[in-house]
Chains A and B, each alone.
Chain A
């Protein structure tokens, strides 16, 4: 595993108070300042609105930009255009239903949301998950990471004018989604990983399916390397653009490829192993310069690492249960319901009332494709969470945007937004 020295801590290097990269201005203030387009003396600074419906802002991100000519001086991401009230809704859904809610947060990597939610619930319950279920979770999550990064390559490529990458990225992602549909019944928003295990066992021929996926995607990654990395325009647009140091990234709370791109080898899979990540061999990909190019290269190579993990899982997968046999959280098998009255009542109670979870608080975190995805859950002993908070990586990472964009061109801003890869469902929840 590659390692880099832990960077010196320090918020000192991030401009804290004014003058700052962050434009702290309300809409009302912006409207008041306005500026008169007919006034020839009023040509120094321009306030420009970008989004929330803009082809290059990854969904519904809106930016307020303070411009001097084409140079961005200060900026402010305005978010909340996709705020869905999921944390409130989560307080009304039982622990069994909660998965359907959280899976719709980061819709590019839904399985990670389910995983963090399930891990938190299981820690509160104090139950163990069977080995096979844990390996299935890892398999699905790593494939999801590959799919998510492929989506980044596709949309990131399109935003910078490499439109063919859009088509190619979707081609491979479609293959992964097909496997997901075979396993979970759904292409997205699976609700597959649930407290206690997973919703269903893998199909009988999953080994050959996954082997085919690896065989298909791996050589094509080399093609993308040639197509993008080998292309001078692509390098020119990304190299040296949107630089952030490790100290700044840490101070701003950034995690995931953003932090690793700045040269800090920090990956929860390695540094705080959960599931069975301590039993598989993989590298933590680290950048040097902390620019957009490093973040792109990290994601491309993380697909390779994910496939490497997946290949090891094919060999390591044990037989056994795909969900815990703890009667408290797992309903009886279908066949038993027809025979036994108790089983029928038990089944009915689990799906109407849910299961009760001991009172307490827990914070569980996983390494999602975008960084640390954490669930802070408070239980009051009933069958619904008293408070469900999700530490969304995109939400926190978005804070780096004004710092990355400062003194760059608007066009570089597009590359930077793409390289931060925020998923607005994750930001706004």
Chain B
């Protein structure tokens, strides 16, 4: 019986679920479980994506359900950095400094196409992909990604941390991050071909 099942039993049946006064688990899974269940994001909103990130934290999508509503202003208290928006050349050193100030273990979600690749702005001003500055674990597509897509990216990260898969992916990747790209799930059209539109 894995630790997750035991926790589920506890949740469903309360203390009655505990037949003996102790739970056995692998230390590694316990650590992974606790890490995945209280990921505190560093507040690093930059542009449009930051608005959607706030929407994800607000009433309708309620990130608090996953223990993630506490956006920390101090990087030292944060576990995951959600890079939400365009990273300019001027911002890149700031971003790296904040990343360096975060305690290990730490994770990075690149939210939106601008953070992931520069998006539609291939010009002098933007860093063409935040993975040139910090190692990225999950890329969320969209411009901006809807709250569902961001949550999908977060769940993917949770899952990878729980299963320990993340570390394997990191050591296999050349950038230092796990580099998982998720699908856009919010139902918004990526190509903006809309009903009755110009297309």
Interface residues, chain A, with chain B CB atoms under 8 Å away = 52-55, 59-60, 80-86, 88-89, 96, 100-101, 104, 107-108, 151, 154-155, 166-168, 170-171, 173-174, 177, 181, 184-189, 191, 194, 199-201, 330-331, 351, 424-425, 428
Smallest CB separation, B97 vs chain A (Å)? 9
Q: Which of B15-23, B40-48, B150-158, B163-171 contacts A (4 or more CB under 8 A)?
A: B40-48
Q: Are A189 and B143 in contact (CB under 8 A)?
A: yes
Q: Are B91 and A52 in contact (CB under 8 A)?
A: yes
Q: Residue A201 contacts which of B52, B59, B91, B196 (CB distance < 8 angstroms)?
A: B196
Query: Which residue of chain B has the shortest Cβ distance to A107 in the bound complex?
Result: B48
Report the 3 A-B pairs with minimum CB-CB distance, sorted nearest first.
A170-B58, A85-B125, A107-B48
Q: Are A189 and B86 in contact (CB under 8 A)?
A: no
Q: Are A194 and B198 in contact (CB under 8 A)?
A: yes
**B197 interface residue per 8 A CB criterion:** yes
Whether A185 touches B192, Cβ cut-off 8 Å, given contacts A82-B88, A89-B123, is: yes
**B55 interface residue per 8 A CB criterion:** yes
Q: Residue B98 contacts which of A53, A85, A170 (CB distance < 8 angstroms)?
A: A53
Q: Residue B120 contacts which of A52, A101, A199, A351 (CB distance < 8 angstroms)?
A: A101
State the CA gap A100–B195 with chains docked (Å). 18
Q: Are A53 and B43 in contact (CB under 8 A)?
A: yes
Interface residues, chain B, with chain A CB atoms under 8 Å away = 43-48, 50-52, 54-55, 58-60, 71, 73, 85-86, 88, 90-91, 94, 98, 120-121, 123-126, 143-144, 146, 186, 188-189, 192, 194-198
State the CA gap A88–B124 with chains docked (Å). 9
* 12 A-B pairs whose Cβ atoms sit less than 8 Å apart in the complex: A53-B98, A55-B71, A84-B88, A86-B121, A88-B124, A181-B188, A185-B192, A185-B197, A188-B51, A189-B48, A199-B194, A200-B197
Q: Are B90 and A80 in contact (CB under 8 A)?
A: yes
Q: Residue B94 contacts which of A52, A89, A181, A425 (CB distance < 8 angstroms)?
A: A52
Which of chain A's residues have a CB closer than 8 A to the CB of B194? 184-185, 199-200
State the CA gap A424–B49 with chains docked (Å). 12
**Taking chain A's interface residues, is the majority helix, strand, or loop, or is none over half, making it mixed?**
loop
Which of chain B's residues have a CB closer than 8 A to the CB of A168? 59
Q: Residue B59 contacts which of A55, A85, A170, A181 (CB distance < 8 angstroms)?
A: A170
State the CA gap A173–B52 with chains docked (Å). 11
Which of chain A's residues have a CB closer than 8 A to the CB of B196? 200-201
Extra contacts besides A59-B50, A85-B123, A170-B55 (11): CB < 8 Å? A80-B88, A83-B90, A84-B86, A85-B125, A89-B120, A96-B198, A187-B52, A187-B186, A199-B194, A201-B196, A351-B198
State the CA gap A189–B91 with chains docked (Å). 22
Q: Are A107 and B51 in contact (CB under 8 A)?
A: yes
State the CA gap A82–B121 with chains docked (Å). 12
Q: Are B88 and A186 in contact (CB under 8 A)?
A: no
State the CA gap A424–B88 with chains docked (Å). 12
State the CA gap A167–B55 with chains docked (Å). 9
Which of chain B's residues have a CB closer than 8 A to the CB of A185? 188-189, 192, 194-195, 197
Smallest CB separation, B185 vs chain A (Å)? 13
Whether A425 touches B48, Cβ cut-off 8 Å, given contacts A171-B60, A174-B58, is: yes
Query: Which residue of chain A has the shortest Cβ distance to B45 in the bound complex?
Result: A59
Query: Which residue of chain A has the shortest Cβ distance to B73 in the bound complex?
Result: A55
State the CA gap A52–B125 with chains docked (Å). 17
Whether A171 touches B59, Cβ cut-off 8 Å, given contacts A60-B46, A185-B188, is: yes
Q: Are A170 and B50 in contact (CB under 8 A)?
A: no
Q: Residue A189 contacts which of B58, B90, B98, B144 (CB distance < 8 angstroms)?
A: B144
Query: Which residue of chain B has the shortest Cβ distance to A186 in the bound complex?
Result: B188
Which of chain A's residues have a CB closer than 8 A to the CB of B45? 59
Smallest CB separation, A125 vs chain B (Å)? 16
Query: Which residue of chain A has the shortest Cβ distance to B88 in the bound complex?
Result: A83
Smallest CB separation, B28 vs chain A (Å)? 33
State the CA gap A171–B121 with chains docked (Å). 31
